[in-house]
A and B are shown apart, each in its own frame.
Chain A
Amino acid sequence: MSYMKEFTKGLVKENPTLVSLLGMCPTLAITTMAFNAIGMGIAATFVLVCSNVVISLLKNIIPKSVRLPCYIVVIAGFVTLIQLLLQAYVPPVYDALGIYLPLITVNCIILGRAEMFASKNNVATSALDGLGMGVGFTLALFTIGSIREILGSGTWFSGTDLMITICPEFMEPMTLFVLPAGGFFVLGCVIALVNKIAHRKPPEATGCAACPNRGSCISVETESAASNTEEKIEKKEGDN
């Protein structure tokens, strides 16, 4: 039963994109088409499951102080693997994802799960956690990709045999949604919708709860806030 839970929590309750707000770069960049979104989702899921398994196996061997570089190297290895596999067997997906495929390496969902989950749990639960998070990521990408493709290009699943033309000929699709601006807008609206449905208190503006860099990020925030107040105080004193 608890195994099932590890899998399902990533789908909705702790969805990495829409709830934890991680991995924004690929979410925004490749969701211009539903098909690309699925390709990216599957590639990321593969890397997530494999790296979670390996890191969970190595959790007692990797020294604490150098764990982040170790995790990144493991992840980069699997990214290279999926890159070569896609290039060999599914070249259209490889071309469509372009530079964002190697950039899975620095996707904070994967590093975040390694740090938060795989380094503390056994192999089976880590694999399920990775699978759940990966499927959740894919679902979120697919939703956003579908919205953007239908509104922006008037088609669905273009680039495959399943292509459906949704927008009638005489109507001009709203190109805005395929532009980068549309990506930000649709993601913002989808997250707001999820907030509304869940009746949840909106999360803090920076949703980096699972980000391994969170510690330093918070120190940046407090530091700059502190220096701001210092500046203000100095300015006040100067005015006086």
Chain B
Amino acid sequence: MELAKSMMIILLTGILTDNFVLSKFLGICPFLGVSKTTSGSLGMGCAVTAVMVIATAVTWPLYYFFLVPMNLTYLNTILFIMIIAVLVQLIEMVLKKYIPSLYKSLGVYLPLITTNCAVLGVTLLNLDNGYNFLESIVCALGGGLGFLIAMLIFSGVRGRLEKCSVPKAFSGMPITLVAASIVSLSFVGFGGLVDGLFGVA
């Protein structure tokens, strides 16, 4: 019960209160770049979630069973980015060969994920927070789902934005950022939610 509770706290924190995109600013490029259509947001969000969970599952054991005993922890950035690059390539190849239908819907998003800071960010954050393996996986899942939800909400907002006439200087990126600011502000409202639900101080 204790375990389930702490997992729920990490999951909900990742999705709502500490949303990766809207409060930690990780993965802004795809958030602003691919969120024009709902289908694009859905595909990108799912692909990012999957890669985040798999990358965490690979980098966590590597860090604690390889880098820490060898006293090489300062190499974590280099190692992690290489692992992520290889992993993304590998997932792409496996999907292409064995699950072509899934590859067709998610394949285009995969090459974009290597340089997505949310993926490298979550692997490093897990180390910073000192999470154990299970907690790290849940944190990655929560972060990915939070990214997905933010993308989906924002694609809806952008759909409306397209039809508005905005001042010339603001058209394009500036108005998109201002809209993102308002979406981010609405997530501030979730502030005390997790603490209130589970009664933690």
Q: Is the CB of A83 within 8 A of B117?
A: no
Picked from B25, B37, B81, B176, the residue with its CB within 8 Å of the CB of A28 is B25
- Give the B interface residue count (CB, 8 A): 56
Q: Is the CB of B81 within 8 A of A76?
A: yes
Q: Is the CB of A228 within 8 A of B117?
A: no
The answer to whether residues A202 and B77 also contact, given A106-B115, A179-B188 and a CB cut-off of 8 A, is: no
User: For the complex, what is the distance from the CA of A105 to the CA of B173, rounded to whole Å?
Assistant: 24
Q: Does B170 contact A (CB under 8 A)?
A: yes
What 1/0 mask marks residues of chain A from 205 to 229 whose CB sits below 8 Å from any chain B CB? 1111001110011011101110110
- In chain B between 142 and 187, which residues have their CB closer than 8 angstroms to a CB of chain A? 167-178, 180-182, 184-185
Chain B residues contacting A217 (CB-CB under 8 Å) are 33-34, 112
Chain B residues contacting A182 (CB-CB under 8 Å) are 181
Q: Is the CB of B40 within 8 A of A180?
A: no
* Chain B minimum-CB-distance residue to A81: B74
Q: Is the CB of B117 within 8 A of A25?
A: yes
What 1/0 mask marks residues of chain A from 58 to 81 whose CB sits below 8 Å from any chain B CB? 000000000011001100110110
Chain B residues contacting A79 (CB-CB under 8 Å) are 77
User: For the complex, what is the distance from the CA of A99 to the CA of B27, rounded to whole Å?
Assistant: 14
Q: Is the CB of B188 within 8 A of A196?
A: no
Q: Is the CB of A77 within 8 A of B78?
A: yes
Chain A residues contacting B125 (CB-CB under 8 Å) are 99
Q: Does A134 contact B (CB under 8 A)?
A: no
Q: Spell out A's residues near B (CB within 8 Å).
A: 21, 24-26, 28-29, 68-69, 72-73, 76-77, 79-80, 83-84, 98-99, 102-103, 105-108, 111, 176, 179-185, 187-189, 191-193, 195-196, 202-208, 211-213, 216-217, 219-221, 223-225, 227-228, 231
**Contact sample, A vs B, 19 pairs, CB 8 Å cutoff:** A103-B117, A106-B120, A108-B29, A179-B188, A181-B181, A188-B174, A188-B180, A188-B181, A191-B173, A205-B36, A205-B173, A206-B33, A208-B29, A217-B112, A220-B40, A220-B44, A223-B108, A225-B37, A228-B39
The 8 closest A-B pairs by CB, nearest first: A188-B177, A184-B181, A224-B40, A192-B174, A185-B181, A196-B169, A181-B185, A29-B25
